[in-house]
Amino acid sequence: MNRFKDKKITLGVSSGIAIYKAVDLASRLRKTNAQLNIVMTEDAKKMISPVVFSAVGNCPVYSDYFNEVKDGWIPHTQLSMESDVFVVAPATSNIIAKIANGISDDLVSLIGLAFRKKAKIVVPTMNTRMYDSPAFQRNLKNLKNDGWTIVEPEVGHLACGEIGKGRYPDNEIIMEYIEKFLSPQDFKGKKILITAGPTVEPIDPVRNITNKSSGKMGYEIAKEFALRGAEVILISGPTNLKPSPLIKEIINITTAEEMLEAAKDKYENMNIIIMTAAVSDFKVKNASKQKIKKDKDSITLELIKNPDILKTIGKIKKENQLLVGFAAETNNLIEYAKKKLKEKNCDLIIANDVSKAETGFNVDYNEVYILNKLGDVTHVEKNTKKNIAINIADYISKLINS
C-alpha cells in the first residue's frame, strides 16, 4: 500500500546548511508518486538553485510571491488550501521565528501562517547553542502550541565543527512523520504492547543459543500501529534494526526471562498485546561465567525450559485485553496454530511457515494465516512485511470495532 500516492505535499525549504539533504527528501517524495510542490526562501535559492529541486522533485518550485500571482492564482492561499501536508525542512531559526510570531514576508512563512490542517511538520536544524537559546525554545514552544509537529534534530557533528543537538535527521524519519498524517487513525488512544526479535541465552560470555529471527515482522507491526495513532511499547530482543521514531517506548532485552519480566511489568494497562518475538524455548542450566576452552573433544550442555511468555500473559490478561500470538512452524501449520491458540488463551494466532526461504526468518517478505477463536482462518498471501503488517492491523481494527 502506498499512502503517499496522489497526496498533495508542499515542501518548504529555508537556508540551513543542511539544505542539500532536502534535495534527497524531495527525491524520496517524488518516488512515492505524491503530488509535490516546493517553496523556497530567497536565501535558500542562493545555496541551491531551484532548478535542482525542480528536476529532482519533478515539480514546480515557488519563491517570488509577486511573480507567482497569475490569473487569480495566489500561491500561499492556494497551496495552503490544496496541500494535504506541509513540511518545512530544513527549518532555520529565522523561519521558525517568523511562523511562530506571525511574521509573513516570504512564501514559506506565508503558507505556514495560512495552513489550517493538522498535517504541518517542521524540522529544525541549526547550531546547538542557537537551538538551546531561550528565544528559540520559546518560538518552538509556540509552534507546538499552534499544532505543529516537531521532528527533533539529532545530536552529532555540526557544520561549524561542534558536537551537539541540531543535526538534520535521517530523511526516513521525516517520511514516517509525513506518512502518519496520511494514515488512518483507527488506533488513536489505544495502548499496544509488542514483543519482537529473538532472545539470546548465554552458554558462556562469548557464546550463546539464539534463533534466526531478525525482528523485521515485529518492527513493521510496531511501526504500523504507531502510524495509525496507537501508543506503542516495543520490547525487543537484539536486532540490527532501527525502530520507528513514532514508537512511544522501546525496551531492549536479551534473554527470555528479561522479556517476560518486561512484559509482565507493562501488560496491565495495554488494550492489545502482540507477541511476535521468537523466544528461545531452552536455556543452558548452568551457563559458564568464564569462556569454555576448546581443549576437550566434546562438552555436554544441559538445557532447561525457558518460561513460556505467551502462556504466562494468556493466564493473567484481562477480559477486555486482546492477546495476539505468533506461531512460526515448519509443518502442520494450521493444526499447530489452532492448538497454540487454545493452550495459550490467545484471541488471535498469526501463523507462518518459516521453512520457506522466501518468507521465513530474516527476509523482507512473509505469508501468514490469521486464526481466531471462532475457527476462522484468514490467509494473507505473500507480500512485503510492511504490507503484511497493514493487513494484520486492518484485521484487528475490524475485530475491535465490530
Q: Are residues 140 and 202 in the same domain?
A: no
Q: Average the pLDDT over each of 82-91, 291-300, 347-356 and give the range with the smallest value.
A: 291-300
User: What's 90's domain CATH number?
Assistant: 3.40.50.1950
Same domain assignment for residues 97 and 199: no
308 annotated ligand binder: yes
Annotated binding residue at 243?
no
Quick one: pLDDT at residue 343?
96
User: What does the angle CA 130 – CA 132 – CA 137 come to, to the nearest 5 degrees?
Assistant: 100
Q: Do 279 and 250 sit in the same domain of this protein?
A: yes
Answer yes or no: is 344 a known binding residue. yes
Residue 333 backbone zone (phi > 0: left; psi -120 to 50: alpha; other: beta): alpha
Residue 340 known to bind ligand = yes
Task: Provide the number of structural domains found in the chain.
Answer: 2
Say which of 1, 160, 206, 316 is annotated catalytic. 160
Interaxial angle between packed helices 134-145 and 93-100, expressed in degrees from 0 to 180 and rounded to the nearest 10: 50
Rounded mean pLDDT, 206-214: 94
* Dihedral angle over CA of 69, 86, 89, 134, nearest 10: 100
Say yes or no to pLDDT of 180 above 70. Answer: yes
Residues 33 and 143 in one domain: yes
CATH number at residue 286: 3.40.50.10300
User: What is the CA 378 to chain-centroid distance, rounded?
Assistant: 26
Q: Pick the last residue of a domain from 147, 181, 215.
A: 181
Query: Are residues 266 and 147 located together in one domain of the fold?
Result: no
Residues 148, 246, single domain; the answer is no
- pLDDT, one tens digit per residue, over 305-330 is 999 999 999 999 999 999 999 999 99
What confidence score (pLDDT) does residue 113 get?
Answer: 94
CA distances from 11 to 83, 86, 135 (A): 10, 6, 25
- Supply the pLDDT for residue 20: 97
Residue 202 in any domain: the answer is yes
How much is the average pLDDT of 379-387?
Answer: 97
pTM of the predicted model as reported, rounded to 2 decimal places: 0.93
309 annotated as ligand-binding:
yes
Mean pLDDT over 86-103 rounds to 97
Q: What is the biggest distance separating any 2 CA atoms in the chain, rounded to whole angstroms? A: 87
Round to whole Å and give the CA distance between 19 and 36: 17
The separation between the first and the last C-alpha atoms of the chain, rounded to the nearest angstrom, is 23
What's residue 247's pLDDT? 98
User: What distance in Å separates the CA atoms of residue 166 and residue 156, rounded to the nearest whole number?
Assistant: 8
pLDDT band at 22 (very low <50, low <70, confident <90, very high): very high
Give the separation between CA 55 and CA 61, rounded to whole angstroms: 10
**160 in catalytic set:** yes
- Please give the grid coordinates belonging to residue 224: 504500523
| Residue 146 among known ligand-binding residues | no
Q: Map grid coordinates 488471535 to a residue.
A: 348
Answer with the one of 181, 202, 232 that is the final residue of a domain: 181
Whether residue 384 sits in one domain with residue 284: yes
Based on the fold, state whether residues 136 and 13 are members of the same structural domain: yes
Burial 220-246, CB ≥16 within 10 A → b, else e: bbbbbbbbbbbbbbbbbbebeeebbbb
Q: Which domain holds residue 297?
A: 191-401
Beta bridge partners of 235: 195, 251
